[in-house]
Chains A and B, each alone.
Chain A
Amino acid sequence: ETGVTQSPTHLIKTRGQQVTLRCSSQSGHNTVSWYQQALGQGPQFIFQYYREEENGRGNFPPRFSGLQFPNYSSELNVNALELDDSALYLCASSLGGYGNTIYFGEGSWLTVV
Chain B
Amino acid sequence: AQTVTQSQPEMSVQEAETVTLSCTYDTSESDYYLFWYKQPPSRQMILVIRQEAYKQQNATENRFSVNFQKAAKSFSLKISDSQLGDAAMYFCAYSRNTGNQFYFGTGTSLTVIP
Chain A residues closer than 8 Å to B104, beta-carbon distance: 42-44
A44 CB → nearest B CB, Å: 8
**B30 in the interface (beta carbon within 8 A):** no
Q: Does any Cβ of A come within 8 Å of B42's Cβ?
A: yes
Q: How large is the interface on B (under 10, 10 to 19, 20 to 34, 35 or more residues)?
A: 20 to 34
Pick the residue among A33, A50, A58, A101 that contacts B47 (CB under 8 A): A101
Residue on A with the closest CB to B106? A42
| Known interface pairs A58-B101, A98-B97, A99-B95; A106-B47 also in contact (CB < 8 Å) | no
- Evaluate contact between A42 and B105: CB separation under 8 angstroms: yes
Query: Quick check: B101 and A43 within 8 Å, CB to CB?
Result: no
**A26 is an interface residue with CB less than 8 A from chain B:** no
In the bound complex, do residue B100 and residue A41 qualify as a contact, i.e. CB atoms below 8 Å apart?
Answer: no
Tell me, in angstroms, the Cα distance from A33 to B93 when the chains sit together. 15
The yes or no answer to B78 lying at the interface (CB within 8 A) is no
Q: In the bound complex, do residue B106 and residue A106 qualify as a contact, i.e. CB atoms below 8 Å apart?
A: no
Contacts of A41 in B (CB 8 A): 106-107
Instruction: Give chain A residues whose Cβ lies under 8 Å from the Cβ of B45.
Output: 43, 90, 92, 104
Counting chain B CB atoms within 10 Å of each CB, the highest count among A44, A92, A102 belongs to A102
**How far is the CB of A45 from the nearest CB of chain B, in Å?**
4
Given that A56-B101, A104-B44 are contacting pairs, would A99 and B106 also be in contact in the complex, using a CB cutoff of 8 Å?
Answer: no
CB pair B98 A42 closer than 8 Å: no
- Closest chain A residue, CB of each to CB of B4: A42
Question: CB within 8 Å of A: which of B12-38?
Answer: 32-33, 35, 37
Residues of A within 8 A of B (CB): 2, 31, 33, 35, 40-45, 48, 50, 55-56, 58, 88, 90, 92, 98-99, 101-107, 109
Pull 27 A–B residue pairs with CB atoms less than 8 Å apart, ordered by A.
Answer: A31-B100, A33-B100, A33-B101, A40-B106, A41-B106, A41-B107, A42-B91, A42-B105, A42-B106, A42-B107, A43-B91, A43-B102, A43-B104, A45-B101, A45-B102, A45-B103, A92-B102, A98-B96, A98-B98, A98-B100, A99-B52, A99-B95, A99-B97, A101-B35, A104-B37, A106-B43, A106-B44
